[in-house]
Amino acid sequence: MGTTLAQGRGRPEFARTHAQRQRRCMRALLCQVCAGPADRTEQGVLWLVENDEGRADELNWPEDLVTVHPPICAPCARQALRLCPHLAGRGSVAVRVKDSAVEGVYGQLYRSSPHSPVEGRRDAVFYDSPEIRWVLAAQLTRTLRGCTVVGWPPQPAAPDPTHIPL
């Protein structure tokens, strides 16, 4: 019981810290792991996108995807692959994103009731949605556009030994 209470006290603090970092990384396109600059090439900024239910096979995926995950830098992407081999399977796909914009938030939705607002679902809400007044925002969302799936694991390295794939 005491442990449960202690966890209950600790969790909101952690959540707040995590949310601040998430918002900073999302706004400034910083790596979600190390908070350094995300990897960027002419094709765009590097994102690891979860391949939910094999959606990577769909045409134009992940165009217009709304994500709460900030981008990533190349060293962290490689390390993630090394530490989590499941990423190399169908788990995640490396995507270059030319255009993206912070267009909403993800958080706890509430709805009005005669007495006080009641909790609804947790969801992503766009800034221009009427529901935006009813969301306790925790994280920023970015909509990804101009996406190029670059493959995961990365393509074999080019002959140039100084060239690092991703």
C-beta neighbour count of 27 within 10 angstroms? 12
The region that residue 102 occupies, defined by phi over 0 for left and psi between -120 and 50 for alpha, beta otherwise, is beta
- Which residues are CB-neighbours of 165 under 8 A, at least 6 positions away? 154, 155, 156, 157, 158
- Which residues are CB-neighbours of 76 under 8 A, at least 6 positions away? 31, 32, 33, 34
Among 7-15, 28-36, 51-59, 89-97, the segment contacting Zn ion (CB under 5 A): 28-36
Among 19, 21, 34, 134, binds Zn ion (CB under 5 A): 34
Query: Whole-number minimum distance, CB 39 to Zn ion, in Å?
Result: 8
Among 57-65, 68-76, 106-114, 137-145, the segment contacting Zn ion (CB under 5 A): 68-76
Does the protein bind Zn ion through residue 88 (CB under 5 A)?
A: no
Does the protein bind Zn ion through residue 124 (CB under 5 A)?
A: no
Query: Whole-number minimum distance, CB 32 to Zn ion, in Å?
Result: 7
What percent of the chain is helix, strand and coil (3-state, nearest 5)?
Answer: 30, 35, 35
- Which residue matches tokens 């949605």? 129
Does the protein bind Zn ion through residue 33 (CB under 5 A)?
A: yes
Does the protein bind Zn ion through residue 76 (CB under 5 A)?
A: yes
Query: Whole-number minimum distance, CB 119 to Zn ion, in Å?
Result: 34
Pairing type for strands 65-67 and 92-111 reads unpaired
Query: Whole-number minimum distance, CB 143 to Zn ion, in Å?
Result: 22
Binding residues vs Zn ion (CB under 5 A): 31, 33-34, 73, 76
